Amino acid sequence: DQQVKQNSPSLSVQEGRISILNCDYTNSMFDYFLWYKKYPAEGPTFLISISSIKDKNEDGRFTVFLNKSAKHLSLHIVPSQPGDSAVYFCAASSPFGSQGNLIFGKGTKLSVKP
Amino acid sequence: DARVTQTPRHKVTEMGQEVTMRCQPILGHNTVFWYRQTMMQGLELLAYFRNRAPLDDSGMPKDRFSAEMPDATLATLKIQPSEPRDSAVYFCASSQGRMGEKLFFGSGTQLSVL
């Protein structure tokens, strides 16, 4: 059973508008969440993260929101640019026994149209 | 610019053949991960090592897959015998092993088993 779920396989957005990518998790012990971006033929690269003690973290055009009670996080990209077109993976980390391991969702493919 | 190096980038082989994938983690990183990306499962963790010792390989089919770290600069993932269902992109990642720390990924090995 998947512990990290990204229920939207794809998302299409117009350039300049907001992109919202969602992620749900089932394990309440997760205490750190990360978003990775992946271009074709490349490895995933770190984008932004958030600790469970926070509900928001911002880095330029990227903001991650965490709702612990709903076990839900989202990544907002404002404004969206064509270069943001990629697959976005949500990942979670648990402090117990994981030793730094990340559990990933299946990814959401974002297409930003000019 | 420190990065994780994976070889080969692409591998096409016939069913039943042995496949070996190699990874050079970032110097100073003591934790190495092997992930597999498929359309159905997204990024699955196969195995990971801390200070060259295997910590968890429960994600790996034991009968055909094996992972080792002969030294701190080399991690290997072997499949013997390979099967068509093993076709996927295999990623290596490394980190310093702290909780919630981001992982640095290599560019992956695209494996096709015919």
Nearest residue of B to residue A7 by CA position? B42
Q: Which domain holds residue A56?
A: 4-113
In a domain, B72, yes or no: yes
Residue pLDDT tens, chain B, 114 long: 689 999 999 999 999 999 999 999 999 999 999 999 987 778 889 998 999 998 888 888 889 999 999 999 999 999 999 999 999 999 999 998 776 678 899 999 999 999
Nearest in space to B60 (alpha carbons), one of B74, B84, B80, B40: B80
List beta partners, residue B45: B35
Q: Rounded to 5 degrees, what are φ and ψ at A35?
A: -115, 135
Domain total of chain A: 1
Judged by CB atoms closer than 8 Å, whether chains meet at A34 and B100 is answered as yes
Q: Does B35 touch chain A (CB under 8 A)?
A: yes
Name the H helices within chain B. none
Nearest in space to A20 (alpha carbons), one of A82, A67, A64, A72: A64
Alpha-carbon span A107 to A91, nearest angstrom: 10
Judged by CB atoms closer than 8 Å, whether chains meet at B41 and A99 is answered as no
Domain total of chain B: 1
Q: Which domain holds residue B81?
A: 5-32+42-94
In a domain, B25, yes or no: yes
For residue B45, give the nearest of A31, A95, A101 by CB distance.
A101
Residue B22 CB-density burial (10 A; 0-12 exposed, 13-18 middle, 19+ buried): middle
Which residues of chain A make contact with B110, given a CB cutoff of 8 A? 41
- CATH number of domain containing A98: 2.60.40.10
